[in-house]
Structure 1
Amino acid sequence: MTTTDSAVVRGSLAVLAAATATHGTGRGDDIALPKLPGFVESAFSPLAYEVAARCLTVCPGDGDRTAVALVSLAGDTTTADLASSRMVSGRVHNPLLFMQATANSVLGHMSREFGVTGQMFSLSTLADPLAELLDMAALLLEDPELDRVLVLGVELGGGGRVAAVRRELAAVYGGSVPDSPDLPASGGLAAAVLLARPGDAAGAQTSIGSAGPPVGQPGSIQGLFELAAAHAGPRTETETHTHAHQ
């Protein structure tokens, strides 16, 4: 990865596994939305779980020594929009929607399924999500009690109300907030990369810089998606993950 003089570089990171997934985008590699009990209506959590599960299945390890960082500029906009629309229309509040609107919810679900008990973080940034995640992974791996960091990002298309929020943010922050992503309102994409210190784990590894220049629009996970796509192995539709207790 190319770096600039202004980029903070804390060394290099080894890519152990990577995965991408898209749903409802109109792309040729769209997948059917994985079923995730307890999460309804939105593609956010199922896509996040899907890419995380692929990485942790391909490269299993000690969950006590694994940390996770999830990035999304606006989070689960589908659920947030649905919950507020129901409230405004006077419909009965659905506590399930409140739960899944929090990005941490799917991280808790994933940690239970894969026994991951290391630190977990949810990030939202107006800068470059890829650089933020790589920088955080490098910082976390300075802790000798951690061996791996799973970084992932999810981006949803959103709708008119989400676009309006982005315009208001752009007005406040001087136009530094990107336009709504070029995705259908119900579409979404996700990417995950499992990282370690170079040489810490057996098997094929590719070292990358721990930070780099912004890729694409500020706040977009496109840079993370492209990095994951470059390192992801081939996948068939039968490999899409479903919940173990279904």
Structure 2
Amino acid sequence: MSAPTVETTAHRLVAEAFLAPAGAGPDGAPGEPVKLPKVPGFVESSFSPLVRAVVARCLAGVTGGEPLGTEGARTALVLATTFGDAATADLGSKLLAAGQVANPLLFYQSVPTTILGVVARDFGITGPTMCFSARHDLRGEALDLVDLLLADGEVDQVLLVAADLGADVRARRVAGELAPLPLAESDTAVAFLFRRADPAAETTHSVVDGTQRPEFGALAGLVELYAAAVDHRNAAGDRILTVPLATAWGPRRLDVLLGDETGGVEEP
């Protein structure tokens, strides 16, 4: 009996970025610490500066730091996170427990969506914007959403951002009491700019299974995808990364194409 056909979708990865301010590299090796630029209107936590900075890195080679222009209207912006801005949540809770006046800048639910508004404003993104959290398989949920947005036909590209802070007491307690959640050792963010593409012809693909970077917690699979993309851009040969996904509709795969828009490949 032949093996069942696994549904395949394909997207072109235009740009990618990784940022771990403490200095950890995507391969786990130590690097130089990075000081995040401040974002006006956000206080105490590094979550919002982390999101803003990784987007700037991702789009630097695409726009040169300028807004997207006409492409912005057909660009979707997605933020994926497990714990969100836990630092702001902790500080707000402590002030509340101490009977102090609530600071509107510390309203937990407003931070992730507000920093997306700042990113959208700064880079001229006027397409759909959304933020979500997932207890299991953040990479799979995020790439499923990219699939959905690009299949809808209303957008031509998706800027996917994933960010989590290093696990604090709150995150560790949640992981211990509610579910065995993967915890990041330090603040980490990745960003990817995907565009719609046709599935590639059958050829040898490099599989990115998402199990090699446990120190990055729920972002491990996306960090591994970033590292694989960088390695393949800098090497000759195969430029297609295959990401196996387990979804509510069964197993399928995503082919990530690293070539140019006409189907060729970029020169290293």
Question: Quick one: distance in 2 between partners of 1:161 and 1:155?
Answer: 13
Gaps of 5+ in 2: 25-29, 199-204, 235-268
3-state SS of 1:31 partner:
coil
Distance 1:142 1:162 in 2: 34
Q: 1:158 to 1:101 in 2, by over 3 A?
A: farther
Residues in 2 aligned to 1:41 and 1:52: alpha-carbon distance in whole angstroms: 20
CA contact (8 A) 1:22 1:29 kept: no
Greater relative CO, 1 or 2 (CA 8 Å, sep 6+): 1
Query: Who is 1:67 aligned against?
Result: 76
TM-score normalized with structure 1 length: 0.75
Q: Measure, in 1, the Cα distance between the counterparts of 2:188 and 2:83.
A: 13
Instruction: Name 2:159's counterpart in structure 1.
Output: 150
Secondary structure of the 1:141 match is helix
| Correspondence 1:13 to 2:17 | no
How far, CA to CA, are the matches of 2:119 and 2:175 in structure 1?
Answer: 29
Using the TM superposition, give the Cα deviation of residue 10 of structure 1 relative to its aligned residue in structure 2, in angstroms. Answer: 4.5
Q: 1:25 to 1:89 in 2, by over 3 A?
A: farther
Post-superposition offset of 1:67: 0.3
Cα distance in 2 for partners of 1:25, 1:98 equals: 29
Q: Please, what TM-score do these two structures have when normalized by structure 2?
A: 0.69
Aligned residues: 211
CA contact (8 A) 2:37 2:49 kept: yes
- Asked if 1:39 corresponds to 2:48, the answer is no
- Name the structure where strand makes up a greater proportion of residues: 2
AA in 1 matched with 2:44:
E
Within-5 A mapping of 1:99-118: 102-118=111-127
Larger Rg: 2
1:78–1:25 distance in 2 versus 1, CA, 3 Å: farther
- State, as a whole percentage, how many aligned pairs show the same letter: 38
Does residue 1:161 correspond to 2:141, yes or no? Answer: no
**Distance across 2 between alignment mates of 1:30 and 1:124:** 27
Structure-1 residue corresponding to 2:99: 90
Runs of 4+ in 1 over 4 A off after TM superposition: 5-10, 211-214, 216-219
**Which letter does structure 2 place at the counterpart of 1:80?**
A
Query: CA offset at residue 83 of structure 1?
Result: 0.8
Residues 144-163 of structure 1: per-residue CA shift (max 9 Å, x gap): 23110011111111322321
